[in-house]
Every structure is written in C-alpha cells, then in structure tokens.
Structure 1
C-alpha cells in the first residue's frame, strides 16, 4: 500500500450546513480540521487516511459543515481503495436535500447509453460527460464511448482530473502518480491509458485561475486554457470533456462559458442526478421507480416517446444517464472489469497483515498508478482482482506501505 500524498478536494457546492455559517467561519472550521488531517496522514497509506478520517468524524460529529467534508474525503478514499459500496455509504451520510419522484419519468423510454450518445455525437463538436468523483463507475461510460467517438472524428480528450500540462509528460505504458489527483484511482488511470492507445491527445485545463476567484473565474480560466491549447489553432477540433458534477451545466458553469466563447452547443451528459446509493432508502425516488419498473443491465439514457433525449432541467444539460444497481462478482463491481479477467485473491499473499493492499501493475515502476487496487481488511472475505495480458504483476503491501509479496499471476489458458 503506497503512501498517498494529501490533496484536499472540496466540492464547489458547499454542504448544506455551511449555510448556517459565514463563509469565513466555514473555511476556518474546514481548515482547522484538515490541518490536523494533513499532519496525521500526509505521505501515509489509504488505510491510514481512512483511520484518521474516522477519528476526526467522531470528533466533529456535531459540526455538520466539517463532518460533510470529512465524509466527502472518506468517499474519495474508499473509491481509491476499490471499495465502491463504502464510497457510496460515506456520501450517503452527508446532508442532502430530499429527492422526490419526478412523475415525468413514468412516461419515458430507455435506450442504450453508449449507442445513443455516440449516435447523437454526429451533430456535435464537443461532448461533455460528468462524474461524481467518488463513483468510479462514471469513468466507465467515457471509457466505453471513446472508441466510437474516435471513429467519428473526435481527437481530443480533456480531463478535469489532469494536473497542469500533465499531458506533456504522460508515458505510453503507464500513468505516473504526479499526473493528477483522481488519475491515481485505477479506473481513471485505465481511462487515460486507453485514450492514448486509441490516439487521443489528452488536454489538461482545470488548474486554477489567474483572473480571480469563484466559479465564474475558474470556468473562464478553463475555457481560456482549452482555447489556447486546442481551439485557437484548430477551431473545428472535436473534443470529449470529462468533468466533475456541475461543470456540464449550460447555465453558469463550464458548458455555458465554453458555449459563449466558442459559439458552439456542447452535448452535455449527466450521470449524477439519478444514481445508485449505498441503500435503497438513500436513492432518489425517480431512480428507484426506474429501477423497479424497467429491466436493464447496462447504462441507459432517458428519452421521450419520440426518441428525443430527456432531462429534468433541459436548460442545464441535455442527456440523463441511468446506471442499473451494481452487481458484484468476488465482491468487485461487474462494471469495473473493463474486459479484464477476474481472479480470486490468494489471502496468503497478505501473510496475516490486515489491512493489506493488493495492487496490479503493468510495468511495476516505482511511481506507477496500478491497473487495479483493492484493500483487504480481513482474512475471511473472498475478493477478486482484475488482470490482463498487459497487467499481471501483483504487489502486496501492509498498512504502512511495506512490501510483503510480489507475484506474477498468469491468465487462464484459452480453450
């Protein structure tokens, strides 16, 4: 389990409890909590981060503003650990507005999301797809779309998760830990590598503003970076932009300022509104209704009876994507497989050191982001890892990051 270097990622939308505090007091409380978190976990492993976050969550249980951000960070950490269920659960403990049934969904139809979005892309120069940063599943949709969009002339993939100018230093064989924050999560790293294998030119764009503070300054700076890196020299370039949360919003966020600056209308795809949660009781009512009244096993888009994309807020985004509830094999989400082979972890690899990290590598370089990662907390739980022809080297480390075992795992022989 490698050390993880601390990076605080705050949602742009402040927790609801923060409304009861002044902005200054809110930030003061957040900084106080995370100064201590930083001291306790910087340079330590994911397991150490979770332990520190749990201790702080108990201490700040009566301070909802701080607790919400701590829970957000727990969700991110669990997603990096390969624990989808716990990532969802952490976010479900945060304060949320109630999400009542939108009765319009009862009249809607469903189409396969990958097919429908790739077909619609014929009419667009820019396709924007969002994710919830703790839901690694959302990276899979972009992964599945890339080949189809490449075949339609899309040549650029802009990623909110890339560090400034990281595209200039990307290896063709693996993703380096310094490439970004969320790119340290294996599914995101797989997305980056697959895009490069297809031939996409990656673009970083979201790395601070020199024109002020706040959402507008951030978004205008992002558009400026995209123009300078791509559109000023190639005005007809076709681009996929993978963003977090509300940046696809055509009413005051990145999509809006991109539309304004380039005089184009992006296709905006939302995966974060009608989503799976850790338990049915936390789900948006519209999501629960769709799951219980339709039978589907791949991500779908919602359409009206004439086949047009439906959005509950069409002034904000164009396309609503709904994923089915996650099904698991060997305690791993089936959607995370990415055409790889799932094999059971030999718990003897951990040599009774729990929690232990089991990570699968392509090259085995010192600062390489693994192709798969899972943290095993107890010896009684069967769990699997994903391997492929290009990633079969397994490294096992303890909670302090010390190497316990290195194993090369063969693929099953083809019949």
Structure 2
C-alpha cells in the first residue's frame, strides 16, 4: 500500500547497554530473594533454556525462578540484552506489565544526554501533524485490501488488546481468516479452542483472550510458522509467506488478518538481502497487504532511541487513545516511513492497583478485586469454569483469563474478567495450589 509511505524522523546516536532501573515491585523483590536464598520448587540447575512448560504443563513462575536463581548462567546463554528481554516477556506472561517494561528498558542501549536533547528538539519542531482514531482509520483502509498484516511485541500484551478491538469490525468487512505466527503449526496443534497446544505465545493471557474472542466471533485460525528449526531467517520468512498464501488459495473469497511479530510485516528488503515475510508474500501472491506497525510507537519503544523518541512525541502531542498521525490528510510513520503502511501510536499506560487499565479490553472485561484465601498467597489466577470442567477439573494445560501477584488496595488482587463463571486458584510462591474459589462475574 505504497500511498501511505512517509516518515517524520530519522535515527540518531545509540550507546551502551543499561541495567534494570527504578524500584521493582515488592512481590518481584520477594520472588528474587526467594530464588536467590532458597531452592524454588521444581528448580533444575541443568536447565539451559527459559521455558513456561516444564514437563508439558504451564507454570508461569518457572522461567522467573531460573532466571533469578541462575542469572549469570542465563546472561551467558542469552547475552545480557537477551536475558533482560526474555525476562521482560515472562513478566508479561505473569500479568506484570510494569516490571516487563522495566526489564525491556534494560535490554536496550542507553542514549547519552546530547542525543536525548537532539531527539526532543527534532520532535518539538514537528508541525501540521494531526491524529485520528487508529481503529477507525484501519477499518476504512482495510476495505481496500484482501490481507491486513499487523505486528506485536511478545512482551507487550497492550498490542494484543488493540487487535482484539479490531476483530468485530474486520469480521463484518469480510475478514474470516486469522493467521497468527504464534499458533502451533505442528500436527498436535489445537485450533478449535484455547489450550496448551494452541501455541506457546498464546499462553500469555491477553493473547489467549484474543484467540478466544476470535473463535467466538467466527474466525478460522490459521497457523503459518515455519516448522524447521534450522532454517535461516530468509527461509523462515519465505515459508511463512508461502503458508499464508496457501491458506488464501484454499478460500478464494475470504479476507485475512495476519498477526505477526516485529518486522516480519516489513515491506522492504534489508541492505544485507533479508526479505521479510510481508514482502515475500507480496512478491509471490501479487497481493499488496496493508501493513500496520504498532511496536515502534508504544511506551519503551523497540530500542533505546525509539524509547526516547516516543517519550518526546508524547510530550509534544496529547495521545489519549491509539492513533494514526496525519500530515495533509496522509498517514505518516514516525520512525520507519518505508517499512509499513501505517503506524499506530499508543498512549501511555494508566494503572489501577498496579495493573494496566487497558486490561479491560475496551470494556469486554471489568476489574474484579479478589480477597486472598490466606497470608501465604502469592499468585492469583482466574480460569474459565467451563474450560476447567472440560479439562478434568485441572488447570495444568489451560491458559488463565487473567493472573497477578500484585496486591492492590486493602491487599486485594485485581483481576480483569468478562461476565461469566470462574475458578480462582490461589498459589504460594512455589506455585503450590493453596485453595480454589468459584465466582461469577455479572
């Protein structure tokens, strides 16, 4: 969709990696101390990869145990930046967005004061920029293409929440296929309902809600990930593109929404010859997808410079809801003008009792305070009652609707839940189930 191409700014200087900044939440410090002082339940010194799925079950504290207990080892395996980025993702999985952003910031190169001032001066000089509601503009633009591609960052469920807000209108516009990079593309996948084998990243609760909502609306889920682990990046993206095109050929009338990560939806070949999935798809299918980035202009950005640029932009412009920037009625991309058709600018997160208010998913869910069953409670999870009942009354391979270890006012745990029946699981810091509670949200 080349008529959208235009950029506002260019990059500047980046310097060194930084450590975790700011005061960590009390439960995070408690978890750190527990892991360094004691041996968390299930800990294995032989583990050389951080994972949510020990012994084939979901365990949301398991990767945090090992990252804290064996920090030096995993920094050696992932690099220091990679270690912080991995931790950021697993804090997001655990429902702690604030700490996820702190660790994400630590994975970036730092920016010196001179470069920061230059970025703020550049942004302050921007003129004639208007902003429109992103969902309205996307709904309008989506009419002119058969394929809409939007990206997300694995540690920012905010972006999954925004995709949820698009689902109903896109479905009304003929979009019937939801292709997701995060779906399991092996033979054991489960695509008619959300389970452990639906996908690894769909175990993040907000992304899980996206899957549930899409299925309830009527979307058909389409996995398209390359299943050969040894492929080079070019091979992977080309196979992803071929799998997407194959699904469209099987249903020649349906429109498709594609959810991918990061720059897979870029429409530009890199200087070293890498061809991203969206460009590979465009070349093989002849279909020009509408590509929408929402990873650059979100709090903490994608990299150190992007983080500062985002801060400067929100100081200059008042962004209250996900928006598209326009100059002379033409969409502009603040950072990468030639990679994507549209760029969504997200507002800063507001918190209630330590939890983002956008967890309400645009009104689909409501905040529900939960009283802990005992002083030993550390982690509170809400599972759909019907999913528990259909899984032999066990939660082990199910994705919670929401979960948190952050106590709010009056030491209540705030969960965001749709109307319906739930089973609340109270766990201690070693992930042992202390008790359960059945509730109904009206």
Q: Which bracket does the TM-score occupy, shorter chain normalised?
A: 0.7 to 0.9
Structure 2 SS opposite 1:408: strand
User: Is residue 160 of structure 1 aligned with residue 181 of structure 2?
Assistant: yes
Match of 2:212 in 1: 193
User: Is residue 344 of structure 1 aligned with residue 366 of structure 2?
Assistant: no
User: Is residue 237 of structure 1 aligned with residue 254 of structure 2?
Assistant: yes
Q: Distance in 2 between matches of 1:358 and 1:122?
A: 39
User: Is residue 383 of structure 1 aligned with residue 375 of structure 2?
Assistant: no
Match of 2:379 in 1: 356
Q: Distance in 1 between matches of 2:435 and 2:174?
A: 45
Structure 2 SS opposite 1:409: strand
User: Is residue 138 of structure 1 aligned with residue 168 of structure 2?
Assistant: no
1:130·1:248 contact (CA, 8 Å) conserved in 2?
A: yes
Structure 1 SS opposite 2:160: helix
Structure 2 SS opposite 1:303: strand
Q: CA shift at 1:391, angstroms? A: 4.2
Structure 2 SS opposite 1:255: helix
Match of 1:250 in 2: 267
Match of 2:28 in 1: none
Match of 2:403 in 1: 373
1:57·1:67 contact (CA, 8 Å) conserved in 2?
A: no
Structure 1 SS opposite 2:329: coil
Candidates 113, 132, 139, aligned match of 1:111: 132
Match of 2:239 in 1: 221
Match of 2:422 in 1: 392
> Taking structure 1 as reference, are residues 358 and 220 closer, same or farther at Cα in structure 2, changes over 3 Å only?
same
**Superposition TM-score, scaled by structure 1 size:** 0.81
Return 5+ residue gaps in structure 1 as ranges.
1-15, 19-32
**Between Structure 1 and Structure 2, how many residues are aligned?**
374
RMSD: 3.1
More divergent stretch after superposition (156-165 vs 78-87): 156-165
User: Is residue 75 of structure 1 aligned with residue 88 of structure 2?
Assistant: yes
Candidates 260, 266, 277, aligned match of 2:289: 266
2:180·2:258 contact (CA, 8 Å) conserved in 1?
A: yes
Match of 1:56 in 2: 70
Q: Distance in 2 between matches of 1:74 and 1:126?
A: 33
Q: For 1:330-356, what per-residue CA distance to the aligned partner results, in whole angstroms no more than 9, with x for missing partners?
A: 222111112212111212x2x222532
> Taking structure 1 as reference, are residues 51 and 179 closer, same or farther at Cα in structure 2, changes over 3 Å only?
same
User: Is residue 147 of structure 1 aligned with residue 165 of structure 2?
Assistant: no
Q: For 1:334-382, what per-residue CA distance to the aligned partner results, in whole angstroms no more than 9, with x for missing partners?
A: 11112212111212x2x22253232332422332211111134899754
More divergent stretch after superposition (213-222 vs 309-318): 309-318
User: Is residue 42 of structure 1 aligned with residue 35 of structure 2?
Assistant: no
> Taking structure 1 as reference, are residues 285 and 75 closer, same or farther at Cα in structure 2, changes over 3 Å only?
closer
Q: For 1:103-162, what per-residue CA distance to the aligned partner results, in whole angstroms no more than 9, with x for missing partners?
A: 475442111111111111111111111111100101011110011111111111001110
Match of 2:321 in 1: 298
> Taking structure 1 as reference, are residues 372 and 108 closer, same or farther at Cα in structure 2, changes over 3 Å only?
same
> Taking structure 1 as reference, are residues 41 and 282 closer, same or farther at Cα in structure 2, changes over 3 Å only?
farther
More divergent stretch after superposition (99-108 vs 392-401): 99-108
1:167·1:203 contact (CA, 8 Å) conserved in 2?
A: no
Q: Distance in 2 between matches of 1:39 and 1:297?
A: 36
2:151·2:262 contact (CA, 8 Å) conserved in 1?
A: yes
More divergent stretch after superposition (102-111 vs 181-190): 102-111
Q: Distance in 2 between matches of 1:58 and 1:355?
A: 26
More divergent stretch after superposition (392-401 vs 74-83): 392-401
> Taking structure 1 as reference, are residues 54 and 401 closer, same or farther at Cα in structure 2, changes over 3 Å only?
closer
Q: Distance in 1 between matches of 2:436 and 2:249?
A: 48
Q: CA shift at 1:189, angstroms? A: 0.9
